[in-house]
Amino acid sequence: MNLLGALIVVAGFVFLLRALKLVPMAMEVTTVSRAALGVVQNPDLDDDAKGERMQQHAKRLFILFLLLTLGAAAALLLPVGLIWLLAQTGLLSYDGVIALLLSWQFLLATTVVAAVVVSIRSRK
């Protein structure tokens, strides 16, 4: 049952990452950062124009930071909370699931599976 609980946590985390659109948000951080760097390096803009645009980029980056932080916390805490609830019913062991999630064997297996999935998706 611990393996089932660990798989629920991993699947729930991946589902919530996608549902909350955290990966596109993380990519947007790179886009906004590059745009901000372009503003700094633009010799055609005066200091006031640069300052105004940099403030816009800073505001967007701060919002993205908050959304990514809260989204990542939710993506982790909701599946773990479900495991805690299932443990309260006696269906599985919370400590056992956490121990399995942190074991090198499980981490290696999920890393290999994730690498294969990413590789297959990138070929399409």
The pLDDT tens digits for 7-43 are 999 999 999 999 999 999 999 999 999 999 999 999 9
* Global pTM exceeds 0.75: yes
Helix (H) or strand (E) holding 30, with range, is: helix 22-41
CA separation for the pair 32, 118 (Å, rounded): 25
pLDDT in tens, 53-112: 999 999 999 999 999 999 999 999 999 999 999 999 999 999 999 999 999 999 999 999
Q: How many helices (H) and strands (E) does the chain have?
A: 5, 0
CA separation for the pair 48, 81 (Å, rounded): 49
> Cβ of 20: how many Cβ atoms within 10 Å?
17
